[in-house]
Amino acid sequence: AQRVTQPEKLLSVFKGAPVELKCNYSYSGSPELFWYVQYSRQRLQLLLRHISRESIKGFTADLNKGETSFHLKKPFAQEEDSAMYYCALNNQGGKLIFGQGTELSVKP
């Protein structure tokens, strides 16, 4: 079955510390994976997608098919990175399968 797992509900770090938000997936086929972010009182928005291999706001994510993972990383966290982060898998028809989400809290 297609599934996305985010093992951490809350991740708390200090400003300037490295951040890694974990995401594992289960999918039969070639996966398309994304990270979505939801800042306080804002709507859900796309942060980055694996096929673009881009860095957005200092965040990167590498698809590791051997480990079925798509972890989100940033070398130096900023207070404005505090938000809910959702890993998502593109399923047939373009519908998204989301993980449970990880709340990132960056303390000053």
Task: Single out the segment in contact with another protein by CB under 8 A; choices: 4-12, 15-23, 56-64, 72-80.
Answer: 4-12
Out of 17, 46, 55, 64, the residue judged to bind another protein by CB under 8 A = 46
CA-to-CA distance for 67 and 17, rounded, in angstroms? 25
Sheet holding 19-21, edge to edge: 19-21, 72-74, 60-61
Q: Is 64 in the site for another protein (CB under 8 A)?
A: no
Considering the complex, what minimum distance in angstroms separates the CB of residue 75 from another protein?
26
Question: Is residue 11 involved in binding another protein (CB under 8 A)?
Answer: no
Of residues 93, 16, 41, 31, the one with CA closest to residue 62: 31
- 12/45 with CB nearer another protein: 45
Binding mask 68-97 for another protein (x = CB under 8 A): ------------------x-x-xx-xxxxx
List residues near another protein by CB under 8 A. 4, 6, 9, 32, 43-46, 49, 51, 86, 88, 90-91, 93-101
